[in-house]
Amino acid sequence: MKLILTNEVTGLGAPGDVVEVKNGYGRNYLIPRGLAMRWTRGAEKQIDLIRRARSARDIRSLDDARAAARELAALTVRIRVRAGAAGRLFGSVSASDIADAVRAAGGPELDRRRIEIATPIRTVGTHQVTVRLHPEATATLDVEVAEA
C-alpha cells in the first residue's frame, strides 16, 4: 500500500514522504490515526504543502539543532504533579507536559510530537527523555518529576 505521511512516524519517515507499507499497517494503524493518507495523483499535489509546513516547524539546520541540544542538556526541567503515598502519580507525564515545562524553564520551543518517552513516566524522580531535533541530531533531556 502506498501512503503519504502527514505526521512523523518513528522508523518510517517524516511528513510529506511517500512510503510503501503492508496493507494492514496502513489501513488499521496509520490512516485511522491521521498519520498518513492514501497516495493518489491528486494527493501527490498536497505533498508540497505538507513539506512546506514541515520546514516551517523544523529547526533549520544541523548547527541550530546541535545548539538546541546543548541548551537542553544544560537545562533543568521540573514538573510538579499530584502523587500518591508511594510516589506513584495519578496518571502519567505526557510529552505536551514536558514541552510546556521546557518552555517555562526558558528552553527552546519544542514540538510535542518530537519528544519520545521510552517508558511512561508514572513515578516521582528523575527520568530521561529523548528529543528528536533534526533527522541527524537528538538530545537527551533529564526531567525531574516532583510531588505537588
Residues 72 and 130 in one domain: yes
Measure Cα distances from 6 to 17, 31, 38, 96, 146 in Å: 8, 10, 10, 19, 36
What residue ranges of the chain have pLDDT lower than 70?
54-60
Sheet holding 18-20, edge to edge: 18-20, 2-5, 36-38
The DSSP result for 16-64, as a single string, is T-EEE--HHHIIIIITTTTSEEE--HHHHTHHHHHHHHHHHHS-SSHHH
Q: Give pLDDT, residue 10.
A: 81
Q: What is the CATH number of the domain that holds 113?
A: 3.10.430.100
Q: Give pLDDT, residue 143.
A: 93
Residues 42 and 107 in one domain: no
Q: Give pLDDT, residue 111.
A: 84
Contact 82, 95 (CB under 8 A): no
Q: Give pLDDT, residue 109.
A: 85
Residues 74 and 128 in one domain: yes
Residues 96 and 78 in one domain: yes
Q: Supply the range of the domain harboring residue 39.
A: 2-57
Q: Which three cell numbers stand for residue 117?
A: 518517552
Residue 101, SS3 per DSSP: helix
How do 137-147 and 77-81 pair as beta strands? parallel
Q: Give pLDDT, residue 60.
A: 62
Residue 68, SS3 per DSSP: helix
Q: What is the CATH number of the domain that holds 6?
A: 3.40.5.10
User: How does DSSP classify residue 83?
Assistant: B
Q: Give pLDDT, residue 36.
A: 92
Q: Give pLDDT, residue 41.
A: 83
CA atoms within a 13 Å half-sphere pointing along the CA-CB vector of 8? 17
